[in-house]
Amino acid sequence: MRPLTATIRLDHLRHNYQQARAAHGDKTLAVLKANAYGHGAVRCAQALADIADGFAVACLEEAQELRAAGIANPILLLEGVFEAGELQAVDALDLWMAVASEEQLAMVEAAAPAKPFNIWLMLDSGMHREGFLPQDYQAAWRRLEASGKAGKITKMTHFARADEPDVPMTFSQLEMFDAAMRGLPAGEESVANSAGILCHPRAQRNWGRVGIALYGVTPLPAGVGQDADLRPVMRFASKVFGVRELGIGEPIGYGDNFVTHRPTRVGLVACGYADGYPRRASSGSPVRVDGARSRLIGRVSMDMLTVDLTDLPDAGIGSEVELWGDAVSVNEVAAEAGTIGYEALCNVKRARFVYV
């Protein structure tokens, strides 16, 4: 059996949720979109079901998967529905949904649900992806109220740069949000994502939405925000399956972009970009071999990568290689590849998932 594993520590997941909820100080949705950021949505939902105030997913298909697995907690569709025909399933499965456009609002107005929908009405406070502009928001809210199709309306926005604490945009978005809500009846609000929960106390409204931090990955620069004691949920690891002894001046891998400058022991590791390890990870990207720090050398191939064993004389075939997890941060690996930890986690596949 190929030795690549993604070990998912469900106790870490529960710990991180509880830490985020405590930091937020109120109800918190656990965001399970994109298959729980690559961790397995159903297994993560089952592990959190007894403590989570609710879950959030991107689309109806993700919510249907959770309901089919017996998950009864509230589930929010962060992107709402894409066509009117989905509203019947939203009603039948008792889902909550975002309304973020005129088209979605019109679908709700034209619907005939068995019971009023639970709506999260999105304000575009500056990110400019989705949501009603401030000058249009109150009219949208009043249309929902007048339609009789919304049993509850939660006011919502999303931050663009909350993970950059020194950038004033988050404060501007909060001010815009508060201004847009003036004059509307009191009701629940949701503005804080992971970075908002950890770094922006003013964003701590009725509902937080914890995404990347749920999986033990900080969205913030080192030393910034609350010390939430996040614990990495995924440990991505494989083993050395071959060793090569090379002299000075020998190329390794595609493109000859790494050439040995000393006699070098090269370990072949069963993981490549087809498994989710970033193809653009550069030579020098950190790994741990039997607990000792080492580095990637040469380009990442589809099915394997190569690591430096020169200074690890006891390492060899069968040695464990931690690609990220406890001693190696996924953010560190992602930075070496010019991407972010979110993408690296979401891309993991073809590994054997082990839930503990």
> What element of type H or E holds 331?
helix 330-336
Residue 194 in contact with residue 20, Cβ under 8 Å? yes
Residue whose pair of structure tokens reads 């498994």 in the numeric block:
275
- What residue type is 306 in one-letter code? T
Count Cβ atoms below 10 Å from residue 271 Cβ, excluding itself. Answer: 27
Instruction: Give the span between the Cα atoms of 285 and 323, in whole angstroms.
Output: 9
Residue 126 sits at the vertex; the CA angle it makes with 122 and 129, to the nearest 5 degrees, is 60
> Residues 37, 137, 254, 349: which is the catalytic one?
254
- The β-bridge relationship of strands 305-308 and 75-77 is unpaired
* Catalytic member of 33, 149, 155, 239: 33
302 is in an annotated binding site: yes
Beta 320-324 vs 234-246: how paired, if at all? antiparallel
Contact 153, 107 (CB under 8 A): no
State both tokens at 27.
């109800």
Asked about 17 being catalytic, the answer comes back as: no
Pair 312, 294: CB distance under 8 Å: yes
Q: Is 115 a catalytic residue?
A: no
Tell me if 272 sits within 8 A of 306, measured CB to CB: no
Residue 196 one-letter amino acid: G
DSSP state of 89: H
Non-local CB neighbours of 41 within 8 Å, separated by 6+ positions = 32, 35, 57, 62, 65, 66
**Residue set of the binding site:** 129, 302
**Residue set of the binding site for substrate:** 129, 302
Residues annotated catalytic, as ranges: 33, 254
